[in-house]
């Protein structure tokens, strides 16, 4: 298919990757294996000469996405089209040919280089594999590539262990450039490097893009890395895009609450600065069993309150945290904080008032909670816990404190030109949500 200047060079539609987990043969035969949902229906486009940044915490699916694009791992479902050609349906021989046009820069610049080969052979290997050059032409090409990335011809006879981390990453970049690619996927290209070296590598990538007309997908966990290099940014959370749009739009309101939290974590030059840093509750949920509805609702500081509820957002978040703990815990000890020196305490002997104090302290709840009905529900749940009726406590909290975010998986809503956010705060069905604007 002919490609126009306005059409994507790379198109991804509904890309999904599930891994089998749990088990050996017995688990598989008994049907006890589970699926790790590393990617769950990702769509994206990369345009000629563009840099698309993909950011998110560790475990959100960034590297799985990067490797699925080049078919280094086989997707479970979905399509990846390069200039209109579906890579997921291509034969091995065709994929090998297409990898001249799509190259990969790995996160660890040392582990990705063969320690038994000289730099000249590492950079020249793609030339051999694709029958691009040999003999004197090969040597000249290797020399040119090393100079292009800021090294020199003498380095061709050395081995990877003789170089610094930044120099090794330059070698990896030279290897990727050897076959004159059009697209380069950069998987955390600077995360293993010192801060000063990171800037050098990012500047080098920008210079090479201008010189050779490259298109980049840059994977990172740090938004500050992509801020100065990316044209557009996609924020990935638990295998789905939470937000995607032009860089300048993603870095200013409106935000997805997850993107806002990531932005607040960007280090400031002043070590004493505390600013408006957003601390997310809990941990990233397991991709074995992602939360229902919006996958971020278990940690979201702006999670929507049920209709008719109007309490301080911090109190509402704390009540949801308690409700979630009750759903996953199997004992009172798992719900309440076990303080140093009382690990063997018999929690069943706590007085009702002591249990009240313990739970409020654990979840940061005031006494009383600002909303009268919420305080009554909380008190009823504590009565059940004190009586040992764990399931009853779980039920009363779950019935009273269910957010719309738990029930509805939000679409990517348009919030500007080419800027989309997957959050019910931007759904017209919730126009009066007090947390919509921060």
For residue range 394-434, what is the model confidence (pLDDT) as tens digits?
A: 999 999 999 999 999 999 999 999 999 999 999 988 866 65
H-helix segments, 330-371? 332-335, 352-363
Q: What is the pLDDT of residue 434?
A: 53
- Measured CA to CA in angstroms, residue 418 lies from 244, 248, 390, 414 at distances of 8, 12, 48, 7
pLDDT band at residue 348 under the 50/70/90 scheme: low
Where are the chain's structural domains? 1-101+181-265+274-283+410-438, 118-176, 313-402
User: In this predicted model, which residue has the larger pLDDT, 189 or 29?
Assistant: 189
Of the candidate ranges 140-154, 257-271, 332-346, 384-398, the one whose mean pLDDT is the lowest? 332-346
CA distances from 13 to 23, 46, 79, 241, 415 (A): 30, 12, 5, 12, 21
How confident is the model over 8-24, as pLDDT tens digits?
999 999 999 999 876 55
Q: In 3-state terms, what secondary structure has residue 314? A: helix
Residues 138-150: what's their mean pLDDT? 96
CA distance 381 to 319: 11
On the question of a cis peptide bond just before residue 305, with omega within 30 degrees of 0, the verdict is: no
> Phi then psi for 152, rounded to 5 degrees?
-140, 175
Cα 316 to Cα 365: distance, rounded to the nearest angstrom? 9
pLDDT at 336 over 80: no
22 CB-side CA count, 13 A: 16
Structure tokens given for 362: 């654990």
Contact 154, 162 (CB under 8 A): no
- Return the CATH fold of 1-101+181-265+274-283+410-438: Rossmann fold (3.40.50)
107 or 217, which is more confident? 217
What pLDDT, in 10s, does the model give residues 355-408? 899 899 989 999 999 999 999 999 999 999 988 888 999 999 999 999 999 999
The mean per-residue pLDDT over the stretch 82-102 comes to 94
**Residue 347 banded pLDDT, cuts 50, 70, 90:** low
Instruction: Please give the C-alpha separations between residue 338 and each of 43, 333, 342, 347, 416, in angstroms, as whole numbers.
Output: 44, 7, 7, 9, 47
pLDDT band at 344 (very low <50, low <70, confident <90, very high): very low
For residue 141, the model assigns a pLDDT of 97
The pTM of the full predicted model, rounded to 2 decimals, is: 0.89
The answer to whether residues 207 and 191 touch, using CB atoms and an 8 Å cutoff, is no
Per-residue pLDDT, 117? 96
pLDDT at 331: 74
Three-state DSSP class for residue 131? coil
- CB-based burial, 4-36: b 16+ in 10 Å, e otherwise: eeeebbbbbeebbbbeeeeeeeeeeeeeeebeb
Q: Which residue has the higher pLDDT, 34 or 147?
A: 147
Closest CA to 163 of 218, 122, 124: 122
pLDDT at position 23? 56
Q: Compute the distance between CA of residue 22 and CA of residue 35 in angstroms, rounded to an integer.
A: 9
Write the pLDDT tens digit of every residue in 22-42. Answer: 655 555 555 556 788 999 999
Beta strands at 215-220 and 102-105: parallel, antiparallel or unpaired: unpaired
User: Which helix (H) or strand (E) covers residue 27, if one does?
Assistant: helix 25-29
What 8-state DSSP symbol labels residue 349?
A: G
Mean pLDDT of 165-191: 95
User: Residues 35-56: what's their mean pLDDT?
Assistant: 95
CB neighbour list of residue 23: distance below 8 Å, 6 or more residues apart: 32, 33
Q: Output the CA torsion sign for 246, 66, 236, 196.
A: negative
| Percentage of residues in the chain having pLDDT higher than 90 | 71
The neighbour count for residue 310, using CB atoms within 10 Å, is 11
Alpha-carbon torsion angle 237, 240, 246, 252, nearest 10:
-40
Average pLDDT of the residues in 93-98:
93
Q: With cut-offs at 50, 70 and 90, classify the pLDDT of residue 109.
A: confident
**Pairwise CA distance, residues 351 & 58, whole Å:** 42
Which pLDDT value is given to residue 33? 64
User: Residues 6 or more apart from 287 whose CB is under 8 A from it?
Assistant: 36, 37, 38, 59, 61, 238, 239
Length of the chain, in residues? 438
C-alpha atoms less than 13 angstroms from C-alpha of 118 in its C-beta half-sphere? 13
Is 438's pLDDT higher than 50?
Answer: no
The answer on pLDDT for 191 being more than 60 is yes
- Gyration radius of the chain over CA positions: 26
Is residue 183 within 8 Å of 102, Cβ to Cβ? Answer: yes
pLDDT confidence of 270, banded at 50, 70, 90? low
């Amino acid at each position: 298919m002919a490609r126009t200047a306005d059409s994507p060079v790379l198109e991804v539609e509904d890309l999904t990757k599930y891994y089998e987990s749990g088990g050996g043969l017995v688990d598989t035969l008994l049907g006890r294996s589970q699926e790790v949902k590393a990617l769950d229906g990702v769509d994206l486009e990369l345009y000629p000469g563009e840099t698309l940044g993909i950011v998110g915490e560790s475990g959100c699916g960034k590297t799985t996405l990067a490797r699925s694009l080049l078919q280094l791992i086989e997707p479970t479902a979905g399509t990846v089209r390069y200039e209109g050609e579906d890579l997921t349906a291509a034969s091995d021989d065709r994929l090998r040919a297409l990898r001249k046009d799509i190259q990969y820069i790995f996160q660890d610049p040392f582990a990705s280089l063969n320690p038994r080969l000289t730099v000249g052979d590492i950079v020249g290997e793609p030339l051999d594999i694709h029958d691009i050059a040999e003999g004197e032409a090969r040597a000249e090409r290797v020399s040119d590539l090393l100079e292009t990335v800021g090294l020199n011809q003498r380095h061709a006879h050395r081995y990877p262990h003789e170089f610094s981390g930044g120099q090794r990453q330059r070698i990896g970049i030279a290897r990727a450039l050897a076959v004159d690619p059009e697209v380069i996927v950069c998987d955390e290209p600077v995360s293993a490097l010192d801060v000063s070296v990171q800037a050098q590598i990012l500047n080098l990538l920008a210079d090479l893009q201008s010189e050779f007309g490259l298109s980049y997908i840059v994977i990172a966990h740090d938004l500050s890395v992509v801020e100065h290099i990316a044209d557009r940014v996609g924020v990935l959370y638990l295998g789905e895009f939470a937000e995607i749009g032009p860089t300048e739009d993603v870095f200013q309101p409106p935000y997805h609450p997850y993107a806002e939290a990531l932005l607040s974590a960007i280090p400031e030059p002043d070590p004493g600065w505390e600013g408006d840093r957003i601390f997310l509750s809990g941990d990233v949920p397991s991709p074995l069993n992602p939360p229902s509805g919006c996958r971020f609702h278990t940690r979201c500081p702006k999670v929507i309150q049920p209709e008719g509820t109007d309490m301080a957002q911090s109190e509402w978040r704390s009540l949801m945290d308690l409700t979630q703990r009750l759903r996953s815990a199997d004992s009172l000890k798992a719900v309440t904080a076990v303080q140093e020196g009382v690990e063997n305490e018999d929690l069943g002997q706590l007085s009702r008032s002591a249990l009240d104090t313990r739970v409020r302290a654990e979840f940061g709840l005031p006494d009383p909670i600002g909303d009268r009905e919420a305080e009554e529900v909380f008190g009823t749940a504590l009565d059940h816990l004190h009586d040992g009726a764990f399931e009853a406590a779980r039920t009363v909290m779950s019935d009273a404190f269910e957010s719309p975010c738990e029930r509805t998986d939000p679409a990517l809503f348009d919030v500007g030109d080419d800027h989309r956010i997957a959050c019910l705060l931007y759904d017209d069905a919730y126009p009066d949500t007090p947390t919509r604007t921060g």
